[in-house]
Amino acid sequence: MISIEKTTLYVNVFNQSYNFIPTGEPCEFKIELEPEKAFVFQKLFNQLNSLEFDNFVRAHLPYLQYHLDDENDEVDTRLKKIYALIHEFGDEKVKEFVEQLPYFRN
């Protein structure tokens, strides 16, 4: 049987960051996953950052209503994916927390 080595990843959704070692920076979640899967967080955080910049620009155009803006839906989709990954690789305490979030119940 092949053993897949896992590593600890410290994830901060608010700051859109993750680290393999504790840096003293606040960490919202501590998860265990294969190191090569961690890049997915970086990819999602980069997409989220880009979408939030687009929303910032759109916010300065009064004729575009925010609730009809596709970028808002895309931000929600990226957050759902991030929390789904955290749920998948987190311990029971993390899973319980994520399951009570509104994003997870939809």
The domain containing residue 66 runs over which residues? 35-105
Which tens digits make up the pLDDT trace of 23-35? 887 889 999 999 8
Residues sharing a CB contact under 8 Å with residue 85, sequence separation 6 or more, in sequence order: 40, 41, 44
Instruction: Tell me whether residue 55 is in a domain.
Output: yes
49 vs 71, 78, 96, 97, 106, CA distance in Å? 11, 10, 27, 24, 23
Classify residue 15: in a domain, yes or no: no
d(CA 45, CA 57): 19
Closest CA to 10 of 89, 96, 68: 89
Q: Do the domain assignments include residue 25? A: no
Task: Look at residue 82 and tell me if it is in a domain.
Answer: yes
Residues 61-102 pLDDT 10s: 776 666 666 777 888 889 999 999 999 999 999 999 999 988
Residue in the structure block whose two tokens are 């989220």:
48
pLDDT of residue 4: 74
What's the average model confidence in pLDDT over 4-23?
A: 90
| pLDDT value of residue 5 | 87
Q: What is the pLDDT of residue 82?
A: 95
Q: The whole model's pTM is what?
A: 0.82
For residue 30, is it within any domain? Answer: no
Alpha helices in 1-106 (DSSP H): 39-59, 70-89, 92-99, 102-105
- The reply to whether 20 falls in a domain is no
- Residue 87 located in a structural domain: yes
For residue 71, tell me if it sits in a domain.
Answer: yes
Number of separate domains in the chain? 1
